[in-house]
Chains A and B, each alone.
Chain A
Amino acid sequence: MNIREEFPMLSKNIIYFDNGATTFKPQMVIDEICDYYKNYSANAHRGDYNISLKTDMMYENARKKIKDLINASSAEEIIFTSGATEGLNMVVEGFFGKILKENDEILLTKSEHASNILPWFRLCKKNKCKIKYIDLDENYKVTLDNVQKAVSSNTKVISLAHITNVVGDIRPIKEIVEYAHSLGILVVVDGAQSVPHMKVDVQDLDCDFLAFSGHKMCGPTGIGVLYGKFDLLDSMEPYNLGGGMNLSFSSTGEVEYKSLPQRLEAGTPNIAGAIGMGAAADYLKILDLDKIHEYEVKLREYLVMKLKALDNIEVYNESSESGIVAFNIKNIFSQDTAIYLNDYNICVRAGSHCAKILKDELEIKNTCRISLYFYNTKEEIDKLISVLKNSDTLFNQIL
């Protein structure tokens, strides 16, 4: 079967190029979620009756599927969160909040997503630690060389997107981790844009934490995963306290927490979400993430070649290796372009894409972003190109 037929949203006559924001869901993911709500809707870790036992099994199975997806060494290292944002906040507050002190340094870049910057800003106010930005090269990329230049004896952690959501560059995480670890520096990876699009092996990368979201990888919204090395997660302060994460507590205030992963998952979890995300992990495994990446790189090359052939288009990230392409129609504000494309049922994102300090580097603040996924096609790109080619009438259309 053609994979496009597995996605109900792809039969709606729209061209969807905003996969960096969220992705469509295949029927098998939708079916898994419905199955939970229709056939065994119970709480997890609670009851002694059959449907609850089934829920437990399915929820923990989903954890194993995610463990396999990123090749973690154990399922205890997989913590379900509400998304990449929550995962990053948990690490910053619950782990680094406990250990960073005055003058300790955190290395970031200016192309990080807000969720990998703002939690650090807050921590710096509280703990009086400092943020330093790794310089980007002329293609807005991170090089090991520039990481080494930014590191000082005060550096305690490097926190980077694996793939950034505006420039789409793939960071050399493995090399950075190797170098950082040689100096006792920890590395946090924001995998929101990488886990859905390429094989990410946490043991191979050897990163200390990895956060990502279900909805950007064909799964449901409201669910994500925080991976961490067991000992690090084990020393983390739980962000939320409540049911499901404690073994016992007394009226005098003594509490005993459960072990991982339950300790970091207080309250009723997003059970349907976790099961749906597990199904999405299966789906991506079947398609093969190496093949997905290869296809997206080819499709991107085609898109960039076609865009560059138009003299009214400026492309900002030609040399990136992911399915993310940032462009503008010359002299047209990005939002006007997006509104124009919407007239042809083409969905692109306009704006600064939650990377509000990247403008310091890019000189241009707002761009249109196309973010491809494996279900996009050359035919869709051809349609986009013909619409962009004929855009002299843009204002006649949108005004």
Chain B
Amino acid sequence: MDANLRRSIILDNYQNPINRGLIDEEGYIKVNANNESCIDELNFIIKIKDNIIEDIRFDGEACAIATSAASVMIKALIHKNVDEALNIINNYENMINEKNYDSKILGEANAYDEIYKQPNRKKCALLSWSNLKNALEQFKKNN
């Protein structure tokens, strides 16, 4: 991806993230994402109905990479069914970890395709995605 486009995706999503702010409504699952090696701290809520992710919201304090990645992730996963979402997450994780992945299904999330060059930022880019993955896998087990 072009460097300017990459930067503008990350910045837009950092400065105007989607679905920021939690709401107190029934039917949401809570997910906390704390980065052990740094100070990022994000909280998510997800609503899944008939196996479709209807809503994801978040709040918290984190760096530009982690915050923007949360916003980009929410856009990528909303309205997908749980298996589709897990597939997107797996491809994203593969991208961050320099494994084979399908860039076509990642959309804006391709903006993080060079994070591997800054190993200390990989955790920031993965924070929300990995925590959502755990939550979705847990959901599958329980349902």
Contacts and interface: CB of A to CB of B under 8 A. Distances in A.
Interface string B82-99: 000000000000000000
A398 B39 contact: no
Q: How large is the interface on B (under 10, 10 to 19, 20 to 34, 35 or more residues)?
A: 10 to 19
B39 A336 contact: no
Given A333-B62, A335-B63, A365-B61, A396 B7 contact: yes
Contacts of B121: 339
A335 B11 CA distance: 15
A363 to B, nearest CB: 12
A366 B61 CA distance: 9
A399 interface: yes
B22 interface: no
A365 B38 CA distance: 13
B48 interface: no
Interface string B54-69: 0000000111110100
Interface string A72-89: 000000000000000000
Contacts of B64: 333, 336, 395, 398-399
A398 B39 CA distance: 17
Contacts of B65: 399
B6 interface: yes
B39 A399 contact: no
Contacts of B7: 395-396, 399
Contact of B39 (A366, A395, A396): A366
Contacts of A336: 63-64
Interface string A345-362: 000001110000000000
B10 interface: yes
A339 B121 CA distance: 10
A221 interface: no
B interface: dominant SS: helix
Contact of B63 (A333, A365, A396): A333
A109 interface: no
A351 B38 contact: yes
Interface string B119-133: 001000000000000
A69 B79 CA distance: 66
B38 A399 contact: no
Contacts of B6: 399
Nearest to B14: A395
A339 B120 CA distance: 10
B39 A335 contact: yes
A226 B38 CA distance: 30
A334 interface: yes
A334 B67 CA distance: 13
B11 A351 contact: no
Nearest to A332: B64
A335 B10 contact: no
A339 B10 CA distance: 16
B11 A399 contact: yes
A352 B38 CA distance: 10
Contact of A334 (B10, B11, B39): B39
A350 B40 CA distance: 11
A395 B7 CA distance: 8
B11 A350 contact: no
A395 B12 CA distance: 11
B10 A399 contact: yes
Contacts of A352: 39
Contacts of A334: 39
A395 B67 CA distance: 14
Interface in A325-339: 333-336, 339
A365 B39 CA distance: 10
5 contacts: A333-B61, A333-B64, A351-B39, A395-B64, A399-B10
The 5 tightest CB contacts between A and B, nearest first, are A351-B39, A335-B63, A399-B7, A333-B63, A336-B63
